[in-house]
Structure formats: structure tokens, C-alpha cells
Structure 1
Amino acid sequence: MRVLLVDAFDSFVYVVKNYVDLLGADTTIVRVNHLAEVDPLTFDAVILGPGPGHPEDCGYLELLDRVAGRKPVFGICLGMQAIAVHAGAQVVRASSRQHGKVSRIRNDGRGCFTGLPDTFEVTRYHSLVADETSVGQVADLEISARSLLDGYVMGLRRGRSLMEGVQFHPESIGSQYGHQVIGNFFREYCG
């Protein structure tokens, strides 16, 4: 399986690559500002990695235009926010920054959460969140996980578009079941 991992200038991208490689994938990292040099449709799946900034400004939306419904996409942090914005939802500033904070989430047990406990601890590094009200107004976007600390959206799914994302960092050592979350995505969408 060939995986395109898009790097939005984040230091966690190599940890994500190691996790995906452990699943037996051939993972290629491409910086978001070099996406014109590759054809994302030649890959079996795309991962939108974490990074700083707002999803409207990072280059992910153009990539999602090209692959939506054609290739499975997994978004991590900024990547999940981009999935939300691409679907028509809004991303807003959180009431407090969650950089390196561990909190519990509750998930729906489907998609990337298949077979996992309904609550577990994850590590968060974000100051922006998908706005729940606007998410609820998008027909093809469902909330798959929430923080038990502050109720913020921690997981989203666009099943018809083959997209799923998490706000937390599954690759962080402080996140429980991180390998399984990533592995479940590939089992669910890549067979």
C-alpha cells in the first residue's frame, strides 16, 4: 500500500510515518508546499498531517478537492480541521489552548475507533477546533469523538467522501491506542 503523508511543517510527521510504516505501508512524505510535484491519485491513501495555522491557509483544501471520494484521507489535528472546512463546517478558536494536554475522549466505536474502548486518553496540541454547530449543519459530516473535558469535537467522519480525522495526536506517546486508531483507518477504508 502506497501512502502519501502530507507534511504541513510539523515535527510530528516522522512519528506518523513510523506508525504507518509499521503497518507495512510504503509511505512518502511531501511538504504541503511541494504537492504540485506529486500526483496524489497514484497513492492508495492520503494522510493530512498536523501543523500550525488555519486549515484555510495551509494548502490542504486544494488537495482535498482533488482526492475527495477518490482516495481515502485520514486527517490528524490540522488535517481533521481541513476535512471539516472542506465539507462546509467552520473552524474557530478554542476557549483555551490544549498544547501537550492529555484528556479523555468518548468515541462512537466505528471507523478508526472500531474495537476500542468507548473512552480513552489522548494528547492534544491545538488552539483551533471544528465548530460543533456548523458541523451539525453539514449532511455528510458526523462527529465520531468528543472530549470529555470540554466537549470539543475530537473526531469527524465523511463516509461518502472516504475521509476521517481526529483532532488529537494518535502518534503521541501520551495517546492511548494511537497505533490502533491509525491501523483501523487503513482497515476500514483501504481493505
Structure 2
Amino acid sequence: MIIMIDNHDSFTYNIIEYINILTKNEQIKILKSEEVTSDVVHAINPDAMIISPGPGHPDDYVQLKAFLQSIYTDVPILGVCLGFQLLISTFGGKVVKGPRPVHGHTATIKHDGKGIFEGLPESFEVARYHSLIADKHHIPEGFKVSAWLEEGIPMAIRHQHLPIEAVQYHPEAILSEYGLEQIANFLVKAGVEIEDTYTI
């Protein structure tokens, strides 16, 4: 069972489509961000959890941030765009305005080749839809930057001891390269069975 935390964003369903392509009838439970509580999630007992993109500032999601503080050691988590910013903000990092808003732009990232980036080329194109960024000087304790732009803006983070990863860009967008592979890597590392016909 995978929980998809939906922050009221249409890209949520692109991610769900990727999961459906990759897995053998894996059950997906969609929870709106305002429905998420520790009790609800513990009752579902998911194998993994994905935090979707969404509008606004991460500080607008008070209930979801409180939930993340209570649950993060229990289940593998992948944050996407707003999900990335929520994890940065929840665990003590800083989210600030970027140099300029980017919506539907592509950029080249470089990465460390680990986690969701395992087996992928050392750089590739991703789609960006955001005006906020992580302050590279205030990454939360326990996390490291795992992908970045040439100018140093963090594009992904990974916890050093827990199964938590997050990306600022949209791997599920058609403009992004290797999006399916990144989702597959996350699912495999979370112990979710993927189709035999799919190879990374």
C-alpha cells in the first residue's frame, strides 16, 4: 500500500499513473493533506508515502508539518516540489524566494548517483514549477543535498540515515528526463514490488 498525500495539485495524478505503470496492482490510498493524521496513516500501515506538489508556502500546511514530525521514522517518504519544501521546512531548514519564478522551465541537474538517482546519467534535464527554493546554507540536520543546479540551488535532498528523499522539480512531468526511473528507484528501495518487465 502506498499513501499519496495530495496537496490539491493535478500533478498528483501523473505520479499515480507512474506508480500504476511500474507496479503489480499496488494499492494507492489518496489522502488530501487536510485528512492526514498519525492515526489515519498508522491504520493504513503503508509501505511508502509520497507527498505531492501543491500551491502556496510550506508554512501554510500546519497540520501536515505536524504529522511529518510524528511519522517520519516509520515509513519511506518521497517529497515532490511542495513535498520537498515541506520536508526542508519541517525539519529546520529554510525555504526562501528563488532568484525568479520558474514554471514549465527545464534545467540541468547534477546528482550524487545514490538513492533515486542510482543507475542514472550524472546529469539530465528536469522540469521546474516553483518560485521558492531551499536555502543551501540552511539544509536540515541529518539531510544532505543529493542534486543541484550549476549555480548551486538544491534540487534534491536525502536523509543520511532514514529512507526519506525529496526533489524540488517534477519527475512526473513530461519535460523531465528519467522520471519513471526515479520513481522506480524509490519504490524498489521502499520494498514495493515492480513489474518484471520494467528494468532501470
Same fold (TM over 0.5): yes
Q: TM-score, normalised on structure 1?
A: 0.92
Residue 115 (structure 1) shift: 0.4
1:128 aligns with 132
Deviations 1:58-91 (A, max 9, x none): 2431221232111000000000111111221110
Residue 98 (structure 1) shift: 1.0
Residue 54 (structure 1) shift: 1.2
Q: 1:118 aligns with which of 94, 117, 122?
A: 122
Residue 37 (structure 1) shift: 9.5
Residue 99 (structure 1) shift: 0.5
Pairwise CA RMSD:
1.6
2:40 aligns with 39
Three-state SS of the structure 1 residue aligned to 2:161 is helix
Q: TM-score, normalised on structure 2?
A: 0.88
**Does structure 2 conserve the Cα–Cα contact (< 8 Å) formed by 1:19 and 1:179?**
yes
Amino-acid identity (%): 35
**Does structure 1 conserve the Cα–Cα contact (< 8 Å) formed by 2:47 and 2:190?**
no
What number of residue pairs does the alignment pair up? 187
Residue 38 (structure 1) shift: 6.6
Which is richer in helix?
1
User: 1:33 & 1:139 partners in 2: Cα distance?
Assistant: 27
Gaps of 5+ in 1: none
Gaps of 5+ in 2: 193-200
Which runs of structure 1 show a deviation greater than 4 angstroms over 4 or more consecutive aligned residues? none
Residue 188 (structure 1) shift: 2.1
User: 1:56 & 1:162 partners in 2: Cα distance?
Assistant: 23
Three-state SS of the structure 2 residue aligned to 1:98 is strand
**Does structure 2 conserve the Cα–Cα contact (< 8 Å) formed by 1:19 and 1:171?**
yes
Change (3 A) 1:37 1:63: closer
Q: Which has the larger radius of gyration?
A: 2
**Does structure 1 conserve the Cα–Cα contact (< 8 Å) formed by 2:34 and 2:64?**
no
Deviations 1:129-152 (A, max 9, x none): 1110011xx43010000023x421
Counterpart amino acid of residue 55 in structure 1: P
**Does structure 2 conserve the Cα–Cα contact (< 8 Å) formed by 1:69 and 1:160?**
no
Three-state SS of the structure 1 residue aligned to 2:36 is helix
Spell out the pairing of 1:95-110 with structure 2 (5 A cutoff).
95-110=99-114
